[in-house]
Chain A
Amino acid sequence: MTTNPQALILYGDGINCEHETKFALELVGFDTKIMLTSDLFKSPKLIEKYQLLAFPGGFSFGDEIYSGKVLALQFEQLAKDYLIKFIEQKNIVLGICNGFQVLVNLGILPDLNYEPMCQLNHNSQNKFINRWVNLSVNSKLNNPLLKNLTNFELPIRHGEGNLIIKNEKASEIILQHAALFYENDVNGSFAKIAALTNKTGNVLGMMPHPEAFVTRFQHYNWLNQQIANDQAKPYGYQVFLNAYNYFFC
């Protein structure tokens, strides 16, 4: 009998970080399954077997129309009720990069109770950016997935991570759901927001890639002795470990 929490990782139609997301989840103790979105849509009930649903990074549907848009439409049409139930039952939904964009398009972030109020737009530089950035956690939220983290580094790899909001009224709500901030303005994002979470904290969407920093060798400067010493527990690993611990606390 298995006691490990079960994680479902989606792939297909242009998603491309499923393998490293699987590796990261397994490293901290999850049992994992990579599933084609088309298979899930055929029998969305399958989701009930899992405790964590990961929307990995990538370019679902080639980022056409808007990034994350078409995969969100598919969920909306084919599996949204199951997804809502999954969230209500306090399971974890983790959206990374393109996965975050999907969750925003679905209206699951900032929270299901609101009208659409934000969107991840083209970076202010109008360029794709792959670089490591400094992040700080919104300590007010006590998000379970960001425990034991305050200021840390992860890579960003996106062309559309610039969070824009609908109006003044939305800004207040968005700030209440901001889980992570960039320390510097890297893409023009409103209030330098790098991640959003729902009210209950079990849905987290983030532009930076935690799965890209789960071993020290993935750091850009791991051959520097000081970095090597500091990175006994890589920050991305901590995010996944938090997810694992969520089910045992």
Chain B
Amino acid sequence: MLTVKTNNLIYAAVIPDSNNQLMSANNQTPNQISFPLYFIEQNQGDLVHDKNFNTIMNNVLTNSVNDKLLLFTNENWQNFINQWKNKNFTYLIIKHFLPGVTDTKGNTVKDAFKLFNCKINIACGNIYLLPKTVTLNNSLNDLVKKLQYNLFNPLIEQIKVVDLSQDYQEDFFQFKLFTQSTNDNKRNYYEEINLNIKDNLLEDISINRLLALSLPEMKNVQNYFKNTKTQVLRNKFNLPHNPTDVELEIIAQTWSEHCKHKIFNSTITCNYLDNNKQISHSKIIHSLFKEFIESPTRQLAKIKPNLLSVFSDNAGIVKFNENYSICFKVETHNSPCALEPYGGAVTGLLGVNRDIMGTGLGAKPIFNTDILCLPNPFENEPIHPKLLPSQSIINGVRKGIEDAGNKSGIPCINGSVFFHNGYRAKPLVFCGTAGIMPLTINGLESHNKYTKINDRIVMVGGRVGADGIHGATFSSIPLAENSPKSAVQIGDPLTQKRMLDFLLKARDTGLITGITDNGAGGLSSSVGEMAKITNGATIDLNLVPLKYPGLKNWEITVSESQERMTVSTDRFEELKQLADNFNVEVTDIGYFHNLGYFEIKDQTSTVALLDLNFLHDGYSDLNLTATFNHNETVHFISEITQNDVIKPYLDKLADLNAHDIYLELLAHPNIASKESIVRQYDHEVQGKTIIKPFTGKNQDGPNDAACVLLSLDSQQGIAVANGYNPLMSYYDCYSMAVFSVDEAIRNVLCIGTNLDEIYLLDNFSFPDPLKSATNKLGENNLKCLIATATGLKDAVSAYSTPLISGKDSMKNDYHTEQIKLSDIPTLLISAIGKIDDITKCLTSSFKNPGDLVYLLSAGSLGIASSHFQSIYNLNASWLPELDLNQAYKLYKNLNVLNQNDLIQSAHDLSEGGLAVTVAECLFGENFGAVLDISLVYKQTLSNKQSYIDKLPFKNNIALCKLFGEIPGSILVSLKPKDQSKFEAILEESTYTYLGYVTAESQLIIKDDNKTVINTNTATLNHAWKTSVCNTF
């Protein structure tokens, strides 16, 4: 017989009041029923009388309209089970978090009980009931496997299953819900790590402790501790000769690829071979970052006085007008999302929000962006059993961004989703945030920090737990089967929202002298970084508030528990008082000094003491080599490309029909409307989103970029958009970078931004560029990286658009003994732009019947890397090209046209090419158009006959014009009366008149007097809108 009640735990389920409501109208058994289950424990010595406590539970947990509380006892449990059994349910599942995992609901329930003077311990869970599902061999293990990653994630949650048709297990109600407080009193201060050992053993230490330090780096550490000066200081603080585990962990986090970007700062010898495979010449790159990213910005800074802070703070800062500055940052959270997509996405977005809150004296987040590159859920590609199913990643990431953004009150106004099986190793999850700051706050320039000696070090926000240990080092290595569970974190948007409200108030009250995010590396990194300002810091771990006892000192130091910021202040008491009002925990954990070291104490004992210069600069430079063949076009080579099955589309090419291709492209998951995901993100909170993701009378015309007002009463706006072109990486990484910059810029231009006021971020997400026995393609990846950086530099220089911040993620690989997967080299460019007068904004939709349609272009035709090519597997190397100088002139002119009110709409050509662009311009107002593409790109075809001859449809060049994805191209519409003025301004640019907009919803496209498309706008709209609407 089953015993329900164990210990003092109450098992409280909130179940529907009337069973009828549960069943669907036709009385069939629904697929799944679930309701909340609470495990409640009253604190000892604090027991409220049973009857009162029941009333309180009812008050807090039910709404008394459609639900009721059921407290399980042995008797009613039996009835409960029978009841569901009689309704043809077969399995009952109880789910709860693993001990120590952030339980946001539980925390709120606790708060609610406090209103009734009840202190409780609580764990939140769910009960699920499932009907008999498809043949399962009746094994519970099979069921658990099936539910894994759908109903629960084993890294953070546990389930127990009852087969209702079987006898019950005796110990069913035994759960491990809470962390056990063990040995807390006997906590060791530290463990000494002997480094007087052989090299191979040094490497073992690095591997076993997940330090991600190379042998040269371990030797640097060894040498530092051998140094006499070090030893003198250590003796004074009673520290051992060898490093303590706390010290080793701090060094590892600080020197991680994640924090120090060692690859981007490496010295690379580039050897260029001649025809005979001999080295003709060599070139040394001293730092990709300095030469290709920072240097063009420094050049541009001479003519762009608005760059207040670039590449130094948590985000780049740009002066926006006489009163405000804007800061912008995009981060990746690829590794966490690969393991636990929901938690990874929540913490990714909340993390980049904190970057903004930790920029300068602290900025207010005004919008979020999210760009997802995910494995394709529509193809049955073989998936390694250890990798999460694509749909689970999509579901988790989508929900994570929804919860983090919506609950923080920050609108998610721009983003994009790209599906490709080149993202099986790790999904790429780019989370971006922009913030606003007054230029001066209490007389201080807000883009600086003013931390000074004797300022207190204050930890703000969440408490420290074992979650998120080793995030920084973990993301600096490939994903593998033994990837650490502890790196997984769950976010808590409510705690962060309270912290945000509080910090802005504290900032404006003048209580903050400096601030930074507690992100990767935890306290070790945030305090270690800020200590550079005064040249020293001391903190006491005994003061750090913990989620639960039992953490070791090194764990407290490097834990990346979420929702925390580190603040410096000279008015702690006032800060504390203010924080209490906001329900925010602040703790004084130490002070800044100028003694040249970072000291960590546990009460009176020092457990770590590291020289700041050594800590920040003691790591080893990497020396890499890249050898380029004669005239080589560098492109990505994937180890598994050869094994991918070529689809039999080639047979059908003879019958290719433009209309069918058109519909297939519109329905392609990368092109189809993402309305179903966009509408799950609040994109209007704060009231300032004036160019929204969708426009037109049906709210379905997609815009290229979004725009938020600077403030609710302002006439100025900030535009934001993104660009990336990963398919081009398979052909030419240089062009991939150029086209990515170009696309991001065209997107913001298309809503009315001026090219002179555009600022960019670069995010590199690359496969491992370090060659090794297990990473044979490492050198090619490095070459891709160099080519991409070169393209980036050329493009931003040509457009005079400075990069203001960026981030790189270099280990987007998955290694096991059976399989090695690498992500496609991807460069995401995010652009923000200033719109001086929002009445000049543009959207993509055609506005009036009779308006003329023009194609403006600085690009030349090609079909390689297009979606047209990829879905039909066309074996084509005909690459589109871009003339950067022409593009620059064109984009400047576009602004002149707009300032003179000569254009009604603008939309860039991207995935799916001209045909898709036209369709998207029609959707908003459900118009039609009559167009002729005979002259399109004609002047760029002169020397391309050899490519055209190789096409399987060489007599149907219209397909290339319709579906080629051409950079530098923008489709505009204008009023007929403006035609001559329009053409006069564009004199030096390439433009092609295509036709006119019609009120009738029919699209007719002709090429050389042949009608190639004749279709209804509704048909196009249906294909575009319905293909992925159930994916999100």
Interface residues of A (CB under 8 A from B): 11-14, 16-17, 19-20, 23, 36, 38-39, 57-59, 61-66, 69-70, 73-74, 77-78, 105, 116-119, 121, 127-132, 155, 157, 159, 164-166, 209, 211-212, 214-215, 217-218, 220-225, 227
Contacts and interface: CB of A to CB of B under 8 A. Distances in A.
Nearest to B712: A23
B684 interface: yes
B842 interface: yes
Contacts of A128: 402, 406, 679-682
Interface stretch (B59-67, B267-275, B773-781): B59-67
The size bracket of the interface on B is: 35 or more
Contacts of A132: 699
6 contacts: A14-B407, A14-B494, A62-B108, A131-B699, A221-B699, A221-B924
A58 B682 CA distance: 10
A188 to B, nearest CB: 13
A212 to B, nearest CB: 5
B583 A13 contact: yes
Interface string B405-432: 0111100000000000000000000000
Contact of B60 (A73, A159, A225): A73
A223 B64 contact: no
A66 B925 CA distance: 39
A218 B717 CA distance: 12
Given A223-B842, A225-B847, A130 B59 contact: no
A211 B497 contact: no
Contact of B64 (A65, A70, A116): A116
Contacts of B105: 62, 64-65
B60 A65 contact: yes
A224 B65 contact: no
B696 A221 contact: yes
Contacts of A58: 409
Contact of A116 (B65, B407, B838): B65
Contacts, number: 161
A225 B904 CA distance: 11
Nearest to A164: B66
A62 B699 contact: no
A36 to B, nearest CB: 6
B1027 to A, nearest CB: 18
B199 interface: no
Interface in B669-694: 678-690, 692, 694
Contact of B104 (A17, A62, A127, A218): A62
B581 A39 contact: yes
A14 B498 contact: yes
B65 A38 contact: no
Contacts of A12: 498, 501, 581-583
Nearest to A118: B65
Interface string B116-141: 10000000000000000000000000
Contacts of B712: 19-20, 23, 215
Contacts of A57: 685
Nearest to B409: A16
A235 B568 CA distance: 46
A157 B685 contact: yes
B187 to A, nearest CB: 33
B557 to A, nearest CB: 29
Chain B interface, >50% SS class: loop
A217 B841 CA distance: 10
A38 B63 contact: no
B746 to A, nearest CB: 19
Contacts of B1018: none
Contacts of B842: 223
Chain A interface, >50% SS class: mixed
A222 B925 CA distance: 13
A36 B692 CA distance: 30
B857 to A, nearest CB: 24
B285 interface: no
Given A64-B108, A73-B60, A218-B690, A17 B682 contact: no
A100 to B, nearest CB: 14
A128 B582 CA distance: 27
Contact of A223 (B112, B494, B689, B841): B841
A116 B63 CA distance: 8
Contacts of B498: 12-14
B109 interface: yes
Contacts of A214: 687
A179 B687 CA distance: 24
Contacts of A155: 684
Contacts of A215: 712
B493 interface: yes
Given A59-B406, A129-B680, A220-B694, 6 more contacts: A23-B712, A62-B494, A64-B105, A73-B60, A77-B115, A116-B65
A62 B845 CA distance: 37
B684 A38 contact: no
Nearest to B403: A62
**Interface centre among A13, A20, A63, A130, by most B CB within 10 Å?**
A130
B687 A20 contact: yes
B87 interface: no
B582 A65 contact: no
A119 B65 contact: yes
A65 B494 contact: no
A17 B407 CA distance: 11
A59 B494 contact: yes
B847 A224 contact: yes
A61 B108 contact: yes
A132 B63 CA distance: 29
B112 A63 contact: no
Nearest to B59: A73
**Interface centre among B64, B684, B690, B692, by most A CB within 10 Å?**
B684
B587 interface: no
Contacts of A220: 692, 694-695, 699
B209 interface: no
A217 B682 contact: no
B660 interface: no
B109 A64 contact: yes
B693 to A, nearest CB: 9
A164 B692 CA distance: 31
B407 A130 contact: no
B686 A20 contact: yes
Contact of B65 (A63, A117, A129, A159): A117
The list of the 3 closest CB pairs from A to B, nearest first, reads A16-B409, A20-B687, A62-B494
Interface in B414-470: none
Nearest to B839: A217
Contacts of A74: 115
B63 A119 contact: yes
